[in-house]
Chain A
């Protein structure tokens, strides 16, 4: 395995400007070696350069990109060597710099990209599979043999008999993706590059395909390079993992070392559950069995504000006679957050097209808030009631300015100009795009486009919101951002229907799951009921998320009463377990004392800050005290929390909008909070502020726990990690949190500290 098959030496790459769009992406002094028969993983956030790296190895970059003649050196440098051949190299001829090398190296090197639609090049599945093989000049018998083998590898052997009769429109996204992978496997490449090739597949399908590729590697001489976010897949199959960030390699190591490095956690998707439990086998030793036996997770109850959507015996037939919907019955109540899941071709999209009013000529009855949508008058008013966010944001951008894009729908429903302006500003703020108001949506990043697409729909304040595959093609953080916005809308009363394959998000956010198969509903119930139904999971090709798999084992062995659905619920359980630990009270007088002490240190160390930013609500009191002491009147706040109001830790930080202009800062910014506990909130806020300014940001907190991700620049004192610091001014919130968790020790502490009647310090 020590023989290099891919070598990138001192690579520099930056994209030429396109249509006035400047690309900030820059790869410089990039070096990477991939060895024979290795399974190399590449991961990193969206925009980190994963696809660029794949295309460099495949020889598409720079050969396929039009560069100004003779000036290639401004964009590319170094050399890419694959299987001993120079794929790309910068050469100087006279005064001109040109790119030399072989370029794309099919069939020895294969590249499967993310979107199967654009890679499916022919008009039949058979032609698609045989195209590369015909180009290779293989005889007919060999082509047939290889096609059969490749189909088996990707789990499509059943299609073989029909393969010459299948048109691309008849294949689902998942089937197309498998076929494209099969077409490369059939070419038996020596290096196979897979750039997020399973984004359209359901969870079980994803594992199945990667497993097949892994088996292939074990059998023969193939080097695999896989771009993937999913930590479970990366840990299971990969030999070495490359972490990319802004075109640079942050780390290359074995996946277990990468995932256990806390410093890398913000650049990669971390299996939150695995950060809690290192080893499934020792699980029983890692948890308090007594606590596990009595623990019951507290879950959000679905609101039931009367039926929002009533569907009775809904049938829909395509013009060729195939039935997409075959008698669907469903009632969705106002304020519910539902996941609609099912394999490709199960009828989810058709169903959502009917309820969004787009499809007509269906049979049955569909009522939205009691109104029959078969009536034309009702149907045309549906866009005001039902919002639809598409999987691909490019499908729903109709304007050349961000604000106009949001105003588009509002104008269509006849809103007044002034009201539109107000609504546009309010929505942009909500999705954090206020600073992009006048930009061209086509040039936004993928994540920003996604948020714009969502904004353009939520601006219309629909009472029912359908969101199609919010996670496809995005990293987990981006997906979460979207889900958090949806959750907020749901809390405000919107009914949310999410169509997705992502079982992690389903388990965490949705309290009701509807599973479709062949145009029928085959399940309607809570996630826990679905995950306990083995037969149904198998039938629907669904794989429960890791958090569920672990708790399922514990439930089956009688240790736990309920399934825990997400990492968040596991953290919640651990919190319950830990609540027997220590408590300290921080009185208001002590806060004043510490504020004075901290202020003196701030002035001594850094001088006067231009502005104080505090994290709501915890940082408000201490920030105000410090501002009085050091005489800084400019204060801004940002809403951010890693804990819910009940004190339950979350798996991620929820940030409020913060679209201030920080250009006036000359000296530095002081970021203030009451405590650096896990440090996740501070880190998220710091990241956000640093995007808005290049000036220094110093962090100041009253208390600091050693396990915090961020060590404040200035803090008053250190507390143990397992200590709960109760701030005097947070008496009521803390009490409520303890009551909710039935934390008797905590409540006893509160009683001792504040007395039965309340705050004894006042």
Chain B
């Protein structure tokens, strides 16, 4: 695999839990604690905005757009578009249709139809609530992706160390990340090997496809056992079993001004969601009066 640094030798991208993100972007440099609290506060805010008696469409939309802006700023939006957009788009459309069918609230009918004895109607009110919920869920889904795409596994481990979680526990978590990383790379090679032997080329019935998938487990299991043994030896060779208290890490991620700003803004978002309906404040009474 090509080195992920630019040709001048500076590192433009950082490998994160999911894909990579711009090394100098705002979200990448936030402390994992900040991201955790921000995620927690914003999620509650969005849930509240969606579930109140008058769902706050504008609030959900604003959070959604802000998250999109951060995805763009961190250079991760392209991965969302490439890998998840079609999936998320279909999911939200299905969700909206489901909502409209089973939550027929209000009387301002946009259109209606019969299927046998069943009478369905799409109202302005249900459409409004449905759209608000779709944006709310989209904001949360995209926020989750933003966090995963801008956080390095090593940052999580370091954060746990800062929380004084015992070294052996944090190292175990780190080892899980590393094992998953090795497994991912092995799996990539194995899939390539399977392809090279015609594994995916021929048209097959579902049973053969399952068999083919199971075939992957043979090399993967054998490799993981071998690697686990080798990793055990490597750990011993570094003196892991004799480790007691570790000295300070060389680099510690600190809480900076940007972290405080992010925390204040997310607390403010929660406060807003609890205390007001932004849609109404911005003159959206026409919509809410329908409810």
Contact = CB atoms under 8 A, between A and B. Distances in A.
Interface stretch (B34-42, B128-136, B139-147, B239-247): B239-247
A123 B157 contact: yes
Interface string B146-175: 000000111001000000000000000011
Interface string A385-419: 01110101011111110000000110011100000
A239 B67 CA distance: 63
A414 B202 contact: yes
Nearest to A468: B189
B240 A170 contact: no
Interface string B75-107: 100110010000000000000000000000000
Given A134-B249, A165-B23, A103 B236 contact: yes
A170 B231 contact: no
Interface string A67-100: 0000000000000000000000000000000000
Nearest to B194: A398
A399 B211 CA distance: 11
A1 interface: no
Contacts of A139: 247-248
A457 B177 contact: no
B266 interface: no
A656 interface: no
Given A60-B237, A122-B174, A167-B14, A383 B247 contact: no
Given A140-B248, A413-B198, A106 B239 contact: yes
Contacts of B75: 321
Interface in A103-133: 103-104, 106-107, 110-113, 115, 117-124, 126-127, 130-133
A505 B48 CA distance: 68
B148 to A, nearest CB: 15
A138 interface: yes
Given A140-B248, A460-B197, A121 B2 contact: no
B247 A349 contact: no
B251 A387 contact: no
A134 B250 CA distance: 9
A134 B246 contact: yes
A169 B1 contact: yes
A331 to B, nearest CB: 22
Interface in B244-280: 244-251
B192 A388 contact: yes
Contact of B233 (A60, A172, A323, A356): A60
A392 B220 CA distance: 12
B62 interface: no
B201 A383 contact: yes
Residue among A63, A134, A345, A350 with the highest chain B CB neighbour number at 10 A: A134
Contact of A118 (B9, B216, B227, B241): B227
A442 B222 contact: yes
Contacts of B250: 126, 130, 140, 143-144, 147, 164
B190 interface: yes
A162 interface: yes
A58 B215 CA distance: 37
A390 B9 contact: no
Given A64-B233, A122-B154, A400-B218, A107 B239 contact: yes
A218 to B, nearest CB: 24
B236 A138 contact: no
Interface in B173-226: 174-175, 177-178, 181-182, 185-186, 189-190, 192-202, 215-216, 218-219, 222-223, 226
Contacts of A664: none
Contacts of B3: 170, 172, 322, 345
B196 A388 contact: yes
Nearest to A359: B192
A392 B227 CA distance: 13
Contacts of A162: 5, 9-11
Interface residues of A, number: 95
A301 interface: no
Contacts of B219: 394-398
Given A127-B154, A400-B218, A104 B236 contact: yes
A222 B2 CA distance: 36
A697 to B, nearest CB: 37
B287 interface: no
B247 A137 contact: yes
Given A127-B154, A395-B186, A398-B219, A122 B178 contact: yes
B109 interface: no
A707 interface: no
B19 interface: yes
Nearest to A122: B174
Contacts of A381: 201
A226 B289 CA distance: 81
Interface residues of B, number: 75
Contacts of B14: 165, 167
Contacts of B157: 123, 127
Contacts of A64: 232-233, 236
Given A134-B246, A170-B3, A121 B195 contact: no
Nearest to B239: A106
B209 to A, nearest CB: 12
A689 B200 CA distance: 42
Contacts of A457: 196-197
Interface string B1-29: 11111010111111100011001000000
A118 B201 contact: no
A122 B175 CA distance: 7
B246 A117 contact: no
A390 B189 contact: yes
B11 A318 contact: no
A457 to B, nearest CB: 7
B234 interface: yes
Contacts of B218: 397-400, 442
Contacts of B216: 398
Contact of B247 (A117, A143, A147, A169): A143
Contacts of A358: 192, 195-196
A123 B178 contact: yes
A396 B193 contact: yes
A689 to B, nearest CB: 33
Contact of A58 (B222, B237, B240, B241): B237
B114 interface: no
B200 to A, nearest CB: 8
A250 interface: no
A122 B243 CA distance: 16
Contacts of B227: 117-118
A55 interface: yes
A134 B197 CA distance: 46
A626 to B, nearest CB: 48
Given A168-B181, A395-B189, A460-B198, A322 B2 contact: yes
A519 B175 CA distance: 32
B9 A131 contact: no
A33 B157 CA distance: 43
A397 B222 contact: yes
18 contacts: A63-B236, A117-B227, A118-B226, A118-B230, A123-B152, A127-B157, A131-B238, A143-B247, A170-B5, A345-B2, A350-B1, A383-B199, A386-B196, A388-B192, A394-B219, A394-B226, A398-B216, A519-B2
Interface of A: 55, 58-60, 63-64, 103-104, 106-107, 110-113, 115, 117-124, 126-127, 130-140, 143-144, 147, 158, 162, 164-170, 172, 183-184, 187, 318-324, 345, 347, 349-350, 353, 356-358, 380-384, 386-388, 390, 392, 394-400, 408-409, 412-414, 442, 456-457, 460, 518-519
Please give me the 10 A-B residue pairs with the lowest Cβ-Cβ distance, nearest first.
A106-B239, A412-B198, A167-B15, A118-B230, A409-B197, A396-B193, A388-B196, A324-B2, A320-B20, A123-B154
Given A162-B10, A319-B79, 18 more contacts: A64-B233, A111-B237, A132-B238, A135-B239, A137-B247, A169-B185, A170-B3, A318-B4, A320-B4, A320-B19, A322-B4, A324-B1, A345-B1, A350-B2, A383-B199, A388-B196, A395-B192, A460-B198
